[in-house]
Amino acid sequence: MLRGKVIVVAGGAGLLGSSFARSIAEAGGTAVVADIDAGAATRVAEDVASVYSGRSDAAPVDVTDKNSVSAFIGDVHKRHGRIDAVVNSAYPRNRNYGRKLEDVTYADFCENVNLHLGGYFLIAQQFGVFFREHGGGNIINMSSIYGVTAPRFEVYAGTTMTMPVEYAAIKAAVIHLTRYFAQYFKGAGIRVNCLSPGGILDQQPADFLRQYNAHCNEKGMLDPRDIAGVLCFLLSDASKFITGQNFVVDDGWSL
C-alpha cells in the first residue's frame, strides 16, 4: 500500500507516533521518526527497522522552531532522495497543561496553543512549501473527537482527569487549518487531510474507562493500531482524490 514512499512522522516517539511508524513500515513505506527527543526517536526507529527490514529512520526536530524544521526537511530529503508525506502528530505542551478550566492562566493557555497549534502550522507550512517545489506531497494532521464535539465532562466524574480547554481549542483549530492548507495548495499536487481519533487507551482509571466506553458502539477506548488503517489509507494512492477532509475514528463516541 505504501511501498516506496518516505513518510515523516512528527512526534514519532510518542504513543500514537510510534504506532504510526510501525504501521507505515508494515505497509511497505519508510517511516522517518521525527521527535524533539532524539534518543527516543532513535529507539523507536531501531525497533521498527529490526522488524520491518530497515524501513525506518530517525532524526531530531523541534516543531516549534522554523530553523529546526527546515534543516530537518533538507536532511531527510538528502538521505532518502524524496519525501512523500508528513504525519503531524507531535504533542508539545508546558508543565501546567491539563489543569481544570478555573485554574488555567492566560499565559499558560496562550503558550500551549502556541506550542501545539503553532507547531502544527509550522510543520504544515514548511512541508507544504517543500512539496510544492518538489511536485506534490501529502500532509495528515492529527485532531481529535474533541475538535468535533463539545466535551462530555461527566465521563471524568470521580477522577482527577479533565478535558483541557487548550486541547479543545487546538484540535478544533487543527481541523480548520487542514481545510485552509488544502484550499491554499489546491492545484499544486498537495493533499491535506485530518484524522480525529477517539480516546486512546493509556492506563486511564477504571471509572473513566467505564463512563467513556458507555458512549461507544463496541470497543470503547481505542488502541493506536485501531487508527492505523485509516492513516495508511490517507497516506496511500487509494485516497489520491481526497483532500480537505476530517476522518473521525471513535467507535461511535461522537454520535
Q: Which residues, 6 or more positions from 227, have their beta carbon under 8 angstroms from its beta carbon?
A: 16, 19, 195, 197, 249
What does the DSSP 8-state code read for residue 161? -
CA distance 143 to 168: 9
Catalytic annotation, residues: 167
Helices (H), 27-143: 38-51, 66-80, 106-133
Torsion sign, CA atoms 218, 224, 225, 231 = positive
CA distance 210 to 196: 21
Q: Are strands 246-249 and 56-60 parallel, antiparallel or unpaired?
A: unpaired
- The phi-psi region of residue 36 (left if phi > 0; otherwise alpha if psi is between -120 and 50; otherwise beta) is alpha
